[in-house]
Amino acid sequence: METSISNTQFNALDIKRRNHINILGEGEDVILLAHGFGCSQNMWRFLTPYLEKQYKVVLFDYVGSGNSDVRAYQKNRYSQLEGYALDVIEICDSLDFSNVLFVGHSVGATIGLITAQKRPDLIDKLVMVCPSPCFLNLNDGYSGGFEKSDLEELVNLMDKNYIGWGNYLAPLVMNSTPSETDTEQETDDALVQELLTSFCSTDPTYSKPFAIATFFSDYRHLLPKVHQPCLVIQSKQDTLVPVEVGKYTQKQLPNAKLDIINGKGHCLHMTYPLQVLNCIQDFIDQTQ
C-alpha cells in the first residue's frame, strides 16, 4: 500500500533555492543528475565537463543534503523515498522539463525508478549507477548483501558515534584498499576523505531518516513496472551492491541493459568517470 506524501506547493524560485538547483550547458536534451545517500551534486563534477558540451545538465541536492534549504525539510515526507521522488517531480515541473535522461547514483537510482513509475512523462531514459532495489537479504531467496541486524547496528551507530559511523562507512563505500601505486592510493584516500566530510557535514536529523529509507526499503516490485529504456551500470567490486544485485535489477526491468565496469567501489562516477561516460553515451546512441 502506498503511503500518502504531503505536497506543499512551491514556486519555481522556491524550488531552485530549496534543492540548490544548478543548470550547466545549453543543449536541447536535458540530463538530470541525482546523487546518492550522504552525497551532494558536487560528486558529479567528474562527469559534468563532458556532459555540458552536448546537453543541458541539471544538478540538485535533495532536501537535507548538500546545500539544500533545510527549512523545507518535512519529517513525514522525507521518511520514505517517495518524498525524495517528489523533489524530482517538483524540480521537473517547476522547470517545465519532460522526457529527461535521469542519471541516478545508488539510492538516487531507486528514486529515479519511483519517479519514472509515478510520472512516466518526465523520464525518457533511466541510467542507474550501482543501484540496489533492496539492500537486505530476505527469506524469499533474494540476497541484497546485508542482514537486517547489521544494517540496524550501522544506523544505531549514527546516534552513538556519528564520526565513527562516517569513518566506517566512507571506506566501505569506496572499497578503499591498498593500491599498487602511490598515485592510486592518494586518489583513494582523497575520495574517502571527501565522502567522509560529506557524510559528517550532514545533520543526522536529516541523514538518519534518509539512511533508514535507503537501507531498509524494498522497491523490487517497481522494477517490472518501469518500461522506459534503462541502463544499469554495475561495479565489479562493490562492497554495498554485489554484482548479482545488478544482474537481478537488469533482468527484472522490462527494457534494460547491464554494463559491468571492471573496477572497485560504489561511486563509479567518481572513480571511473570516463568509463561511466562511455557507457551512458553508448546507451543514448543505442536508444535514439
Active site residue 143: no
Provide the H-helix boundaries in 161-203: 162-174, 182-200
Active site residue 266: yes
Grid cell at residue 110 = 531507486
Q: Which of 23, 33, 43 is nearest to 101 (CA)?
A: 33
Catalytic residue among 106, 132, 207, 235: 106
Which candidate in 20, 35, 105, 266 is catalytic?
266
List, in sequence order, every beta strand (DSSP E) within the chain. Answer: 22-24, 30-34, 56-59, 100-105, 123-129, 230-237, 256-264
Point out the catalytic residue in the list 87, 188, 238, 259. Answer: 238
CB 121 within 8 A of CB 98: yes
101: left (phi over 0), alpha (psi -120 to 50) or beta: beta
Whether 269 is catalytic:
no
> What residues does 129 pair with on adjacent strands?
105, 233
Cα–Cα distance measured from residue 203 to residue 127, given in angstroms and rounded to the nearest whole number: 29
Apex 258 CA angle, 255 and 261, nearest 5: 160
Question: Catalytic residue numbers?
Answer: 106, 238, 266
